[in-house]
Structure 1
Amino acid sequence: MNNHSTALPGDARAASAADASAHTVDTTLPLRELTRALGALCDVLEEEHPPVAVVRVVGPGPETSPGTPDAVTVQDVNRWERVVRRFERTAVIKCLMVAGSCTGTALDLLLASDYRVAAPDLSLQPPRHDGRLWPGMSLYRLVRQAGVTETRRLALRGEPVTAEQALRLGLVDEITDDQEAAARALSARFHGTAHEDFAVVRQLLLEAPSAEYEEALGVHLAACDRELRRRAAARDSAGDPVAALPDSGTEAAA
């Protein structure tokens, strides 16, 4: 596995597309620099298309992160939220490694990742400033992923969530004190996964909570049609005599 650092804007370098790529995102950077750095990482992932990207998050958001007004404008926050959304929707399977305090921009990245590995000392908490909760998009993702009730409790109590609690809530997928070994295992586990197909599944999952049934049906049928066509093409290339189903998704919709 190749290791790369995204500590400064433009410092995200590509790994071989045949292997997983590993990157470090330094969330102690000022928001504007961090936004540029995450954008550079997205460029790498979109251009190189590694099957898996292991992303290690360094440090909690600084005192001048989106959780505070110091030297940050709403335009800066908007640019950050947009690049996090771009990161979230990138086709590559993104495995995030996090330890210690996870708040502010680090929490944003955690919630936008596909698979989350936490160290036992994880302390997860929505960002606050002077006792006031930051109303950023981490709240939106927390509601969608953990539910309204649990997010309301987090907002009211202001108590950090431990690694075990985060696992129970589904905010992390695994707890380990050996993240290097976990990164190697995840690279092997997801190496054969078709990340472009997973990107379609991810989008269906993201849209499911808010989509009406009839609206969702059309999108799911289109995805099913694409998968049936892929299988038919695979059979044809292998010389399989079994008849293909070229228009099954269209017929089902009718």
Structure 2
Amino acid sequence: MKTTPTAEAQPRHEDLTLRIDGRQPLSAEVVAAVGSVCDSAEDRAGQARIIVQVSGVPRTSWANELTVSLVSKWERALRRLERLPATTIAVADGDCGGLALDVLLATDYRIATGSVRLVVPVESGATWPGMALYRLAGYGANAAAIRRAVLYGTPVEAADALALQLVDELTDEVPRALSLAAERAGAVSGTELAIRRQLMFDASVTSFEDALGVHLAACDRALRRATTEVDA
């Protein structure tokens, strides 16, 4: 039975939930689900976290009806999720591949159960060359577990995923882990979170001289905000 991806809207003060089933093929519906949760997060100006629940791996011949246009829309939706002015916290369980792996790697904080395995799907005798490969390589293209996953589709086991920082923690107490992650994420939100995330992304590909002006602008913004809060 097909599982439809969902984006659940709660009241403004509550978290948003996005559920992604990696067993399902990419579709316009799943792109729309990611877009919907992004819309809701932006409407709340970063005042709600997004809890992303992922599991499952693609079935055989899952890419038969894909088009480059649809894949492009999916990658843009993931990039939007990755840049939101809101904290994104993923919970991964069991084997996670395809859509589930794509979304997991685009989140800020990743909680995984001990049964998790990260799987790059294989289609027509080769691993799927989507942007999950790009994100995996960012964590260490020379790491053996990542190299085997990218080249051969060998699952990244839970212990390796933790050691390579593909996930932030392994736990059998997901509700407690979610609560603690939410506490950690409470200090920074909204546009300021998005700015710091982008500064972090850019650091590995930007020289010190090129980065300095952007960081100074962010510092100036922070000082202005601090002055405003004191005056208030």
- Give TM-score, length-normalised by structure 1: 0.81
Asked whether the equivalents of residues 102 and 125 of structure 1 are also in contact (C-alpha less than 8 Å), the reply is: yes
Which structure 1 residue ranges, 5 or more long, are not aligned? 1-6, 238-254
Q: Are positions 1:106 and 2:103 aligned together? A: no
Measured at CA, do residues 177 and 81 of structure 1 come closer, stay the same or move farther in structure 2, by a change above 3 Å?
same
1:102 Cα shift? 1.2
Q: Calculate the aligned-residue CA RMSD, in Å.
A: 2.0
Asked whether the equivalents of residues 111 and 171 of structure 1 are also in contact (C-alpha less than 8 Å), the reply is: yes
Asked whether the equivalents of residues 57 and 121 of structure 2 are also in contact (C-alpha less than 8 Å), the reply is: no
Q: Percent of aligned positions with the same letter in both sequences? A: 39
* 2:194 corresponding residue in structure 1: 199
1:61 Cα shift? 3.4
Q: Determine which of 206, 210, 213 is the counterpart of 2:205.
A: 210
Asked whether the equivalents of residues 57 and 97 of structure 2 are also in contact (C-alpha less than 8 Å), the reply is: yes
CA displacement 1:162-184 (0-9 Å, x = unmatched): 11111100100010112233223
CA displacement 1:24-67 (0-9 Å, x = unmatched): 233334312211221122122222333322111142234454xx
Which structure 2 residue ranges, 5 or more long, are not aligned? none
Partners of 1:208 and 1:61 lie apart in 2 by 34
* 1:75 corresponding residue in structure 2: 69
Q: Determine which of 15, 37, 46 is the counterpart of 1:20.
A: 15
Partners of 1:221 and 1:57 lie apart in 2 by 38
Partners of 2:52 and 2:213 lie apart in 1 by 34
- Give TM-score, length-normalised by structure 2: 0.88
* 2:31 corresponding residue in structure 1: 35
Q: Which has the higher contact order (CA 8 A, sep 6+)?
A: 2
Partners of 1:152 and 1:119 lie apart in 2 by 23
Asked whether the equivalents of residues 24 and 57 of structure 1 are also in contact (C-alpha less than 8 Å), the reply is: yes
Measured at CA, do residues 192 and 213 of structure 1 come closer, stay the same or move farther in structure 2, by a change above 3 Å?
closer
1:105 Cα shift? 1.3
Q: Determine which of 43, 48, 52 is the counterpart of 1:55.
A: 52
Measured at CA, do residues 40 and 62 of structure 1 come closer, stay the same or move farther in structure 2, by a change above 3 Å?
farther
Measured at CA, do residues 29 and 50 of structure 1 come closer, stay the same or move farther in structure 2, by a change above 3 Å?
farther
Partners of 1:222 and 1:64 lie apart in 2 by 49
1:136 Cα shift? 0.9
Asked whether the equivalents of residues 98 and 120 of structure 2 are also in contact (C-alpha less than 8 Å), the reply is: yes
Q: Are positions 1:154 and 2:126 aligned together? A: no
Q: Which amino acid in the other structure matches residue 193 of structure 1?
A: V
Q: Which amino acid in the other structure matches residue 100 of structure 1?
A: G
1:192 Cα shift? 4.0
